[in-house]
Structure 1
Amino acid sequence: MDFLFIADPLESFKIYKDTTLAMMRAAQGAGHRLWFCQSCQILWKDNFVVADCQTVAIKPSGTSWYELGEIEQRKLNSFSAVLMRTDPPFDIEYLNTTWMLSAAVRQGAVVMNNPAAIRDHSEKLSITEFPELIPPTLVTRELEAVQAFHQQHADIVVKPLDGMGGMGIFRVGPDGLNLASIVETLGENGARTLMVQRFLPEISQGDKRVLLIDGEVVPFALARIPQGSEIRGNLAAGGKGVAMPLTDSEKRVAERLAPLLNERGLFLVGLDLIGGYVTEINVTSPTCFVEITEQTGFDVAAFWLKALEKRLSLT
């Protein structure tokens, strides 16, 4: 099979832990042919969605871990599967790419995750569909609403809707110190919508990433545990990743959401749970394959590839 990976520049990959690279290695090891392009190389041309793409071979060792072929222009519907792995932020160009990919789907391309499903599932706002599974949450542009929420819950977290990797997350304790300043700055004086949630002390045990693949639940989570005085468990913010089996309650939540999200075209999902509460539903470029595999022996990339091959054999 021919797989096209739409991703960030290969030289930007953190090769010791990159999930997209783990996917590529698994697919190449199974005999599939890999192709690569960036989202800026997706074109509408001669009434088709095409990509200026290159074959990519993953090398076992050395200073350069990949080898690219010559640029070729291919229709997206000529690939066995197109894997959208561009990292957030979900800006206007990311949105434009999903519209192009939706056009490719209409032309018969198999794109995972489905671009329409990506658009329909804001990684932060999509949790509001499941209010019984989330912590007390407020979404607003209004400072007064945030202040009232703080008065009710005393200890809160404020974050932008388009942040990633823990960027822009602030905790405001019972003293309310700098609350107005934080909201005004993050919200650009009411121009941007913010999410506010009750602070969950269970973050000390980790912000757990639970992977859903083709409606199935990976049996291990990666707990991203904050270090020192930090409240953010995100690995990009210095959190320590510790893989562990899912608890019964985490498994129940994941098994409830997995088939539902899969039916909507979300083949790979990363649920974020703190203390059993769902805090985010990641659908753009979920990660943590490598950390879970290395610490538990459960080969997440192989699990993903087997599910992908099975799905493609049915289409």
Structure 2
Amino acid sequence: MNILFVADPLEAFKTYKDTTFSMMREAQRRGHRVSACEPRHLAWESGGQVRAAVRDIELTGDGHAWFRETGARDAALHEFDAVIMRKDPPFDSEYFYATHLLEQAEREGARVFNKPAALRDHPEKLAVMEFSQFTAPTLVTRSEEEVRRFHQRHGEIILKPLDGMGGMGIFRVGPDGLNLGSIIETLNRHGATTIMVQRFVPEIAQGDKRVLVIGGQPVPFCLARIPQGSEIRGNLAAGGKGVAQPISARDREIAEAIGPALAQRGLLLIGLDVIGDWLTEINVTSPTCFQEITQQTGFDVPAMFIDALEAAMAR
């Protein structure tokens, strides 16, 4: 196969931990050809097809100069066997526009993973609301009064922006409500912005688990991202420590209920965030942790992903 990765700049990859890099490496190991572009390279002229300025690359095995560019060309996306959308968040206007260009490429015959419409339809925090049987009490609102009522009912809460990533903008408020008003104003911008509020789950001390689901099937190991020091956030970007461990029976229950349903909607790869027994987010844009799990457990997550990609392409 000739596979196009739509991703962040190649020069910015941290190859020792980058999941997209691990996908590329496994694809090349199997003899597939690898190309890359950034969302800014996508273009669609009226009467024409969605195209991109792409770089054909070979991975070198060198940790520093990790790829060699073997060609640069303008190509229609449908010319590739598979297009893998791996642009990191934020899911901003430019990401939104990119999904529309990719969806047009699908109409022209491209096979895009994850499916562009499914990326738009499953905002990573809001998506959990469909599966409330697996979530701790959660509220989505702009209203300060609603947030205060939720706090009174549940005592200790977490507040976060719907468009946050990497643990950015997450606040914990205790039963005393200290600084609650100020936090609400900061996050909802005096009622202009919708936010999410969740009952605090104390099991965060044991880690915020990333449970990967590929082709509807859970990876048998997860990465528990454990907060360090006085921090409440387990996100690796916020200084959390990643510890791989077997998924629990509850993790598997959640994954086996959600994974096949979302796979049917065109989400080949998702990352479930689970704290204790509770689902907190469903990551669909560019789920990570492939390398950390593989390095710590020996389970080859990139191989499972390329297996699923090859199986999807055969259908």
Q: Normalising to structure 2: TM-score of the pair?
A: 0.98
Paired residue for 2:240? 239
1:177 matched to which residue of 2?
A: 178
* Residue in structure 1 matched with residue 73 of structure 2 by the alignment: 72
Residues 144-170 of structure 1: CA deviation (Å, up to 9, x unaligned): 111111111110000000000000000
After superposition, what is the alpha-carbon deviation per residue over 1:35-83, rounded to whole angstroms, capped at 9, x for unaligned? Answer: 0100010111352011110101111115311122332111111101000
Partner residue, 2:301: 300
Distance in 1 between the 2:304 and 2:223 partners?
16
- State the alpha-carbon separation in 2 of the partners of residues 250 and 267 from structure 1: 18
| 2:16 alignment counterpart | 16
Bigger CA drift: 285-294 or 173-182?
173-182
The yes-or-no answer on 1:210 pairing with 2:211 is yes
Instruction: Structure 1: give runs of 5+ residues left out of the alignment.
Output: none
Q: CA deviation at 1:174?
A: 1.1
State how far apart, in whole Å, the 1-side matches of 2:149 and 2:307 are: 49
Q: Cα distance, 1:142 vs. partner? A: 1.0
In the alignment, structure 2 segments of 5+ residues that lack a partner are none
Paired residue secondary structure (1:52):
strand
Map 1:66-215 onto structure 2 (within 5 A): 66-215=67-216
- 1:310 corresponds in structure 2 to 311
Other-structure match for 1:27: 27
More off after superposition, 261-270 vs 248-257: 248-257
Distance 2:268 2:97 in 1: 21
- The equivalent of 1:41 in structure 2 is 41
| Separation in structure 2 between the aligned mates of residue 69 and residue 189 of structure 1, nearest angstrom | 52
**Shift of residue 12 of structure 1?**
1.5
Does 2:282 align with 1:281? yes
Deviation string, structure 1 residues 175-209 (Cα, Å, up to 9, x no partner)? 11111111101111111110000000010111111
Contact residue 159 and residue 198 of structure 2 kept, 8 A: yes
| Deviation digits for residues 80-117 of structure 1 (CA, Å, limit 9, x no counterpart) | 10000000111011000000011011111000000000
Offset, 1:249? 1.3
Q: Name the counterpart of 2:7.
A: 7
Deviations 1:254-291 (A, max 9, x none): 11111100000000000111112110010000000000
Aligned partners of 2:15 and 2:63 also within 8 Å: no
Other structure's SS at 2:220 match: strand
User: How many residues of Structure 1 are paired with residues of Structure 2 in the alignment?
Assistant: 314
Segments ≥4 residues shifted beyond 6 Å: none
2: CA distance, partners of 1:285 / 1:296:
22
Give the Cα–Cα distance (whole angstroms) in 2 for the partners of residues 208 and 65 of structure 1. 30
Identity of aligned residues (%): 58
**Which one is further off, 140-149 or 111-120?**
140-149
Moved more, 71-80 or 287-296: 71-80
Distance 1:197 1:274 in 2: 12
Aligned partners of 1:206 and 1:121: how far apart in 2? 24
Question: Taking structure 1 as reference, are residues 149 and 303 closer, same or farther at Cα in structure 2, changes over 3 Å only?
Answer: same
- The residue type paired with residue 26 of structure 1 is E
Q: Name the CA shift for 1:139/1:215 in 2 (closer, same or farther; >3 Å).
A: same
For residues 124 and 133 of structure 2, the distance between their equivalents in structure 1, rounded to whole angstroms, comes to 17
Q: Distance in 1 between matches of 2:251 and 2:189?
A: 36
Q: SS of the residue aligned with 2:288?
A: coil
Return the letter of the residue paired with 2:235. Answer: N
SS in 2 for 1:14: coil
SS in 1 for 2:271: strand
SS in 1 for 2:128: helix
Counterpart Cα distance in 2 of 1:54 and 1:122: 30
Cα deviation, residue 306, structure 1: 1.2
Post-superposition Cα deviations, 1:10-46, rounded to whole Å, max 9, x if no partner, equal 1211111000000010001111110010001011135
